[in-house]
Amino acid sequence: MKRSTQRSRVPASKPPKGEKPDLTGFHITGNGENPKILFVVDPIILDFVSNPTGALTGPQQTYLARYVDHFLEMKDVAFLTAAPPVPKHVVDRDSAMKKHLKEYRERFEAICKYLQPDLIVSMGKNGSSQVLGHSVKITRARGVALKDTDWKVPVLPVFGIGHVMRYPENLEMFKADMQTLERIVKDDFKVQYKEKLKTDYKFVTD
């Protein structure tokens, strides 16, 4: 897939914030007002976390910190779930998960636009599918910043934390994703965009 050599920089000023959107059901951790980087993570699985208090579990936060603490200040970061929590049987069925993401797509967009991040890091298949508005094969999309028409900032799809914790054989690719993130941050969010992903599936909001 051809890559554009055109470089893009995030504008210095941002439009005034509107009314705070409805966060009911969504979980957000960190800077919930003006994050520079917004990590979009998988919806919480109720079978594993019966009383969730944040977008990530403690072990997930600790795991991620190993690879980002040396270049990210957590005051500049927010973690947002792609949709409200779901039982595991929904996550295990692609059609049911797509339906769940689609149901909350409009509210998800409103939350992201309110937060106005300089970069969106979409984690895993479900986080990336919700951000991009269509189904994503994360092994193909990960690691390269995308220019997506729904957002005015770069989107960087990466492997999800939970996936890498369960399948450590993918750790080296996850490290590479975090190194790409580090380069973008240190280069003041200037990126070389990849062409927009082309898929045969897109969410439609009724």
At 200 the pLDDT is 40
Q: Is the model more confident about 127 or about 74?
A: 127
Helices 124-132 + 105-115 axis angle, to 10: 80
């009314």: which residue's tokens?
19
Q: By the 8 A CB rule, do 195 and 4 touch?
A: yes
At 91 the pLDDT is 86
**3-state per-residue secondary structure call for 181-206:** HHHHHHCCCCEEEECCCCCCCCCCCC
Q: Confidence class of residue 148 from pLDDT cuts 50, 70 and 90?
A: low
Q: How many CB atoms lie within 10 A of CB 118?
A: 21
At 165 the pLDDT is 95
At 15 the pLDDT is 65
Q: By the 8 A CB rule, do 143 and 178 touch?
A: no
Residue 39 β-bridge partners: 79, 121
At 71 the pLDDT is 94
Mean pLDDT of the chain: 84
Look at residue 187 and tell me whether its pLDDT is greater than 60.
yes
At 52 the pLDDT is 76
13-26: pLDDT as tens digits: 676 677 889 899 99
Instruction: Give the global pTM.
Output: 0.84
Q: Which of 55, 47, 41, 8 is nearest to 152 (CA)?
A: 8
Averaged pLDDT, 27-50: 90
Q: Over pLDDT 90: what percentage of the chain?
A: 60
Structure tokens at 85: 């929590």
């929904």: which residue's tokens?
90
95-136: pLDDT as tens digits: 999 999 999 999 999 999 999 999 999 999 999 999 999 888
**DSSP string of 79-144?**
EEESSS-B-HHHHT-HHHHHHHHHHTHHHHHHHHHHH--SEEEEEHHHHHHHHHTS---HHHHTTS
Lowest mean pLDDT among 74-83, 130-139, 175-184: 130-139
Q: Which residues contact 159 (CB under 8 A, 6 or more apart)?
A: 123, 124, 138, 142, 170, 173, 174, 177
How many Å apart are CA 68 and CA 175, to the nearest integer? Answer: 10
